Amino acid sequence: MLIVDKPRGLSSHDAVARARRLLRERRIGHAGTLDPLASGVLVLCIGQATRLSEYLLGEDKAYEGVIKLGERTTTDDAEGEIIASRAVPPITDAALRALEAQFSGPIEQAPPQFSAIQRGGQRAYALARKGEWVALEPRRVTVYELQLAPLDEPTAMAVGFQPSGVIQASQAGDQKGMLTGHLVIRLRCSAGTYVRALARDIGEALGCGAHLVALRRTQAGRFTLAEAVGLDRLEAAAREGRAESWLLPMDRAVADWPAARLSDEEARRLKLGQAIIPARATGLAAPAQGEVKVRVYDSAHVFLAVACWDGTKLKPVKVFDAAPPLVR
């Protein structure tokens, strides 16, 4: 696994391409894209770990961003053209708390017109670029935590935005004090939530319209900015022959699953694709019902497979080549 702190202005595809070059590994995939406007946590699966990416796509995400009030855009973010401008009303603390309550919990969210959702075999953004309006059904997403606050310079710095990337671009000449017409948004949400759509809807609830001007993903599943590396820093490490020092064990992708440790003979049979009844499955309890997926290790604690456990048998789902000891 490689956790990249993707810079603003770079697509997820381009970030993967740079990682391929620096690690000299073609088998690299991401576990959820970030728009070019956004920066922050981009989870990459390297080599055999690409087979684990499916288990990461549906995990919760956390973001911090900046909303500009008073303007709607075609894309619901700063990448699009302004299609409507309205006066921004006075916004009280009570109004922000009401918005937090309104947009927290399970909500119905209409995806942006410029999105990767397919209609008739074409991406919605491709149709939108042709000027075609696409009917996109609202989706049920969940916002677990939501905080809204006026944007000032100390707050913007505290949430990790570079002044050249956010404050100066969004100040419109106001170099000190409150950055009027802007809100900081912090949230933790389910996979599939469009933060730019949330910005749009918050603006509509205020009656002035809005769009997202900056976004930073601070967490994706169990991975945070604390263990992420910027691409420039990764490139410097690659020049010194140390790029692999940033790689995380591949079983970190499933580290919150139950773990089974097998004898050498049991491990051999499982790697041949056989379901086994382990003599003792360390760390495994009988599931409440049905089957659960577990990570499987041999006697040397080498991660060797993902398997299904029904309380009696382990059935291999994905078997991996020998790898060094990983999560302990």
Q: What would the mean pLDDT of 36-63 be, rounded to a whole number?
A: 93
CA 39, 41, 43, 46 dihedral sign is positive
Give percent of the chain with pLDDT exceeding 70.
81
Residue 186 scores a pLDDT above 60: yes
Q: Is 256 known to be catalytic?
A: no
More confident residue, 111 or 212: 212
- Which homologous superfamily does the CATH classification assign to the domain defined by 2-58+223-251? Pseudouridine synthase (3.30.2350.10)
Q: What would the mean pLDDT of 160-165 be, rounded to a whole number?
A: 44
Return d(Cα 323, Cα 177) in angstroms, integer.
54
| CATH fold match for the domains 2-58+223-251 and 61-220 | yes
**What does the domain layout of the chain look like in residue ranges?**
2-58+223-251, 61-220, 257-319
**Per-residue pLDDT, 167:** 40
Q: What CATH number was assigned to the domain covering residues 257-319?
A: 2.30.130.10
Among 48-52, 114-118, 202-206, the minimum mean pLDDT is found in 114-118
Catalytic residue among 5, 14, 35, 60: 35
Residue 318 scores a pLDDT above 90: yes
Q: What would the mean pLDDT of 275-296 be, rounded to a whole number?
A: 82
Q: Give the global pTM.
A: 0.85
Return d(Cα 265, Cα 317) in angstroms, integer.
18
Relative to beta strand 292-297, strand 259-261 is parallel
**Per-residue pLDDT, 122:** 53
- Match domain 61-220 to its CATH number in 3.40.710.10, 1.10.3720.10, 3.30.2350.10, 3.40.50.970: 3.30.2350.10
Question: Per DSSP, what are the bridge partners of residue 72?
Answer: 84
- pLDDT tier at 39, thresholds 50, 70, 90: very high
Q: How far is CA 188 from CA 38, 102, 218, in A?
A: 16, 15, 9
